[in-house]
Amino acid sequence: MQTAGDFGQEGTGGIVVGKKYYDYFYRARRQDMSMHFRKVVLTGSGVNKKGDMLPVDVLFDTLEFTCEGIPSFINHDYHKLFGWIVPGSLIFNDHSTLLWGKCFIPDNYEEKRYIASIASEHIKSKMTVEDEDKISIINNFKKSRDFIQEIINIGTSLVAYGDKILRIEHPDLFNAEDEDGLIPIDYLYYEGHGIFSYKEHLIFPSCHFRKSSSNLNSLNEEFLDFFVNGFDAERKLIAIDDTIIGLKSTLLRSVELDYWWGPKFKKNINEIEDGVTRHVVPEESPLRKMLGVEYVDFRWSTNKESSRVFECEEVVFEQTYGISNKEAYCCKYMHSIFAKDESCVHVDGAVRSYSDTELLKRFDSDLAKCGKNTEYMKIWRVDGRLDRECFMKLVHFFYRGNTLISEYFCDESSDFFENQIADIPNVAQSKTIGVFDDIIVSTGFMKQKRNNSCNIVINSTHTYGEEQCNESSYIDLKKIFMKNGVNFCENKFKIIHFNDTVVNLPTITHFGTDSFTNANRSLLLIKDFIQSSAGLACLISFTIACEVDEIADKIIFFSFAGTRQKICDFIEKCKIPQSHDLTKEWCIEAENFMKQKDNSQLERHVLDFISADATLKFDRILLHVEDIIVDNGILKVKFKDSVEKSFSQCFIVDEMTCPICGENYCICKCISNQRYKFKTSSEDLAFFHTDRPLSSKWSLSDES
């Protein structure tokens, strides 16, 4: 039985980190940490290829309950750690809702060691069962309670673990066991998802139906579902795991979001020549990392009865970590017999276990010459006539994920992995925003300590050099807040002006028992600001956040980015929820709004508009300036690289002059809707790419 303490290839090194890892990766969301990461789409609300659909409220629960982060594994195998995923937010756009996150990928030994440590801790916490629950479970066993070694949670249910525990609890079940240790499935009730039951207990197939032969991993549901319900046969037998036994009342379904298909075998079996065909995994193929497969041997032969015999063995180069023998290499083996009419009359699957020495010998021979001098365990068997389609499904489900199977039977290379990689959005930063006639809305969680001096805090939007900055448009919003009697605190920052028609407003965080009520008030004031800035801002982004848990410094945010009109339309239909408990209902309303609006008109992927702290923002890309010269009031700029696209200027504002009263606009009571005059110096001047330049007056001296 594999436990969390045996997790991974890197080991934990005895490191105990508690929940500090959340702080580490949260900081990594907000600044440039050393560990490499990539934005990834984790899942969405659309119907997947298996016909499953995750409703938006389930996606929100997933976001909230995993906001501290979860380990990422290659091919969903808990023994092949890849990195650490921190969910970012739910993004509502067009006709689907996406859950995205940052996947942190370790580059060196220390980072790998750290990731392995926190992943091990995460798995242990998932497997742990409370003491009072353990007592209640133990009381459900009559004959085997004294032989229980451990009560754990394996994801699909709570189980008791112990040597031969199932044989002790239900000895009558094994009266039907054949010479290979297989049980007819007629003796069991199939609960679905690869799990059986007998009387009041759950029965699990052999661990070899799981990746790495480990009970940490999910069962091969596709194969087991088809094996039980996909066809009729004279006899179906299966190997069951006699070291674990579960309770039916704790049964849950596991979801593994990958998808594989089967090859269509059209050749005339009687015309296939005897011999072995080997398909090798290319060095650069993702299949090597995902499955640890070196090659697959396919063998056709003719037996004494002139029946055709087909054998297939998947030879691996990685050790199988889920079994007690650490030097074992478990290879899936399949054997089948075809009658003269080309129907399959027998098929079985097994696992061949090689030691290091035996595996090296296997590499030097093929399936016809390697012999059977290895540890061999048959795990399923079917007797009776099966049609060609049924046989092919058994093959491809048994070797789930191995595209060499499809490659052999189709006689063509599979481009599955290339297609999967192409499906991952390219979120490389574009220099300009491009076409954007739409709205994007997102919600997620972040950490922010409460400011005890006030319940509304306005944060800075940009970092310019070492300066914290807000855009000049924020001054108008600030005055609207003050005019309506809103008391707030703001961090120390400078004003930066971008000479374009894009506005990024700061994140406004609300604390206290009335945080959601105050947040809705702020939302309506922002709507007033948007409507009053006609003609100046064509794209606007802003974020409103509310305190959820004061002790944990947990904040939920609602982020918006879009055109003025579409943001106002959304606010009219979907105000911020009145409490955290109503957020799932808000998510449903937001998704319905997106489904009813016109189709999205975005030139870039939605992930391009996610900022470092996971909120939505329109980023500008600065140009590299080699020299700036002011000659008789004429500005001359020399760029390091050629500038092909339109660009505009930005600068730290030294002074804003009110066009109404002539005083400093930052402290006067006038609201001029962004029609003020600026003063700055050449040292604070910069330039950026933009496809939305704004022509307005500004100066480097006292003259406008």
pLDDT tens-digit series, residues 456-469: 998 888 877 777 88
Per-residue pLDDT tens over the stretch 590-615: 999 998 887 767 778 888 899 888 99
How far apart are the C-alpha atoms of 583 and 604, rounded to whole Å?
A: 28
Residue 263 has pLDDT above 90, yes or no: no
Burial class (CB in 10 A: 0-12, 13-18, 19+), 569: middle
What percent of the chain clears pLDDT 70, i.e. is strictly above it?
83
Nearest to 13 by CA among 114, 119, 128: 114
Residue 203 has pLDDT above 80, yes or no: yes
Residues 233 and 382: beta-carbon distance below 8 Å:
yes
Q: Is 690 helix (H, G, I), strand (E, B) or coil?
A: coil
Per-residue pLDDT band at 660 (split at 50, 70, 90): confident
Residue 44 has pLDDT above 90, yes or no: no
Per-residue pLDDT band at 418 (split at 50, 70, 90): very low
Q: Is 72 helix (H, G, I), strand (E, B) or coil?
A: strand
Residue 260 has pLDDT above 90, yes or no: no
Amino acid at 310: F
Residue with tokens 């109404």: 660
In this structure, the strands spanning 502-510 and 539-549 are parallel
What would the mean pLDDT of 649-674 be, rounded to a whole number? 82
What would the mean pLDDT of 551-564 be, rounded to a whole number? 90
Q: CA separation (Å) from 22 to 66, 84, 87, 227? A: 10, 11, 11, 42
How far apart are the C-alpha atoms of 204 and 202, rounded to whole Å?
A: 7
Q: Is the dihedral of CA 613, 619, 620, 621 positive or negative?
A: positive
Per-residue pLDDT band at 48 (split at 50, 70, 90): low
How far apart are the C-alpha atoms of 339 and 167, rounded to whole Å?
A: 37
Q: What is the number of residues in the chain? A: 704
Nearest to 676 by CA among 694, 661, 691, 693: 661
Q: Is 120 helix (H, G, I), strand (E, B) or coil?
A: helix
Can you say how many angstroms the Cα of residue 393 is from the centroid of all Cα atoms in its chain? 29
Provide the total of helices (H) and of strands (E) in the chain, helices listed first: 15, 33
How far apart are the C-alpha atoms of 376 and 355, rounded to whole Å?
A: 12
Residues 153 and 137: beta-carbon distance below 8 Å:
no
Residues 611 and 561: beta-carbon distance below 8 Å:
no
Crossing angle between the packed helical segments 388-398 and 221-229, to the nearest 10 degrees:
150
Residue 699 has pLDDT above 80, yes or no: no
Tell me 608's DSSP state.
G
Return the pLDDT at 183.
96
Q: Where are the beta strands (DSSP E) in 387-461?
A: 439-447, 456-458
Residues 175 and 203: beta-carbon distance below 8 Å:
no
Per-residue pLDDT band at 536 (split at 50, 70, 90): low
Return the pLDDT at 2.
42
How far apart are the C-alpha atoms of 557 and 446, rounded to whole Å?
A: 7
Residue 172 has pLDDT above 90, yes or no: yes
Per-residue pLDDT band at 431 (split at 50, 70, 90): low
Q: CA separation (Å) from 348 to 38, 378, 453, 475? A: 42, 7, 72, 74
Return the pLDDT at 34.
64
What would the mean pLDDT of 230-254 be, rounded to a whole number? 89
Residues 336 and 329: beta-carbon distance below 8 Å:
no
Most confident of 204-208, 288-292, 327-331, 681-685: 204-208
What would the mean pLDDT of 327-340 be, rounded to a whole number? 92
Q: 638 — alpha (psi -120 to 50), left (phi > 0) or beta? A: beta
Structure-token pair, residue 35: 């560990």
Q: CA separation (Å) from 208 to 121, 328, 360, 434? A: 25, 13, 22, 51
pTM for the model: 0.79
Per-residue pLDDT tens over the stretch 92-117: 987 679 999 998 988 888 888 888 89
Structure-token pair, residue 154: 């394996």
Return the pLDDT at 416.
34
- Tell me the HSE value of 344 on the side-chain side, using a 13 A CA sphere: 23
Amino acid at 5: G
Residue 369 has pLDDT above 70, yes or no: yes
Residue 426 has pLDDT above 70, yes or no: no
What would the mean pLDDT of 195-223 be, rounded to a whole number? 92
pLDDT averaged over the chain?
81
Can you say how many angstroms the Cα of residue 251 is from the centroid of all Cα atoms in its chain? 24
What percent of the chain clears pLDDT 90, i.e. is strictly above it?
33
The C-alpha angle with vertex 424 and arms to 119 and 393, in degrees rounded to 5, equals 85
Q: What is the dihedral of CA 302, 303, 309, 312, to 10 degrees?
A: -100
How far apart are the C-alpha atoms of 353 and 364, rounded to whole Å?
A: 16
Buried b (16+ CB within 10 A) or exposed e, 407-420: bbbeeeebebeeee
Return the pLDDT at 319.
86
CB-based contacts of 133, cutoff 8 Å, min separation 6: 151, 158
Structure-token pair, residue 73: 């594994």
Burial class (CB in 10 A: 0-12, 13-18, 19+), 53: exposed
CB-based contacts of 305, cutoff 8 Å, min separation 6: none
